[in-house]
Amino acid sequence: MDVLKVSAQSNPKSVAGALSAVLRENGSVEVQAVGAGAVNQAIKAIAISRGFVAPNGINLIAIPAFAEIIIDGEQRTAIRFIVEPR
């Protein structure tokens, strides 16, 4: 499964386009965000992406989960959203 990493500075519309493209190609995608700002942008992107794929009869769901990752040798907690069609 492809992982899209979102930061607080990510453009939600650009992320939504990438999310929609990967979703159409692979059937599901994982979105990863660390921090409140990044989670905010990820949620916006998922909402925008739902609008992009809805005309094709695809209804998206997002399943949130925690993930422990290493950034610069330091352990951090990330939020992962598994996005797939219902």
- pLDDT, one tens digit per residue, over 19-57 is 999 998 998 999 999 999 999 999 999 999 999 999 988
Average of per-residue pLDDT values in the chain = 93
**Threshold 0.75, pTM exceeds:** yes
The pLDDT value given to residue 56 = 87
| Contact criterion met (CB below 8 Å) for 42 and 31 | yes
17 has a pLDDT exceeding 80: yes
Give the pLDDT band of residue 71 (cuts 50, 70, 90): confident
Total domains in the fold of the chain: 1
Q: What percent of the chain has pLDDT over 70?
A: 99
Q: How many residues are listed for the chain in this entry?
A: 86
Rg (CA), the chain: 13
Which residue has 């399943």 as its token pair?
63
Strands 29-33 and 60-71: unpaired
The CATH code of the domain that includes 68 is 3.30.110.20
Mapped onto helix, strand or coil, the DSSP state of residue 27 is coil
Structural domain for 57, as ranges: 3-85
